[in-house]
Structure 1
Amino acid sequence: MLENFIDITNNVISEDGFEEFLPTLLFPDRNEVIVLGDLPVADNHELFAQEWIAKVVKPQENYLIAYRVDSKHFKVIANLDGAIEERTCRLGGNGLEEV
């Protein structure tokens, strides 16, 4: 599921541009996607994303989130059945490269 979310995130960035990319939270069990808007202009959205998770995610709820960490990287975190996995991905000429 994490790999699919990374692919989807990369497709969104390819279509809309990285400058427009906002933190995106997926709840697979609810079949719901939420985008965090009204953020200040910044390369790093990690603090905003972490605060958002704390407010909207219910205890023991499965989720995946993607957000910018700098001008060339985004991070994806998956919390699925209590197992947390993180990946930082670099935008590349032919898609992404994990770092």
Structure 2
Amino acid sequence: YFQSIDTEANHRAVAHHQSRYGTDIPTDMNWEAAYYQMHMFAEAFARAGSDELATIMPHLLGSEFSAPQGRVRIDPVNHHMALYPRIGRANADGQFTIL
């Protein structure tokens, strides 16, 4: 994840983060992972009506979310998260230029 990703979802998420914590605290891959995981959990919880593992799991597996990095998906077979990979080069702004 790079804060410099040029998507509407990323711009909204970064703007919300900056309005809450200021511009001196950058986002990172840990923040972004927590962001989309909580959103995915909340959506699954709303569909399942429970946080009981056996009840919520079918609503999580195979679910997708438009994360700041792009579309992410939980694989229903191996339970791994499919991410949107990018390669970046550190720049003078302390961010990354996506190559």
Which TM-score applies when normalising by structure 1? 0.37
Structure (1 or 2) with the greater strand fraction: 1
Q: Which has the larger radius of gyration?
A: 2
Relative contact order, higher structure (CA 8 A, sep 6+): 2
Structure (1 or 2) with the greater helix fraction: 2
Which TM-score applies when normalising by structure 2? 0.37
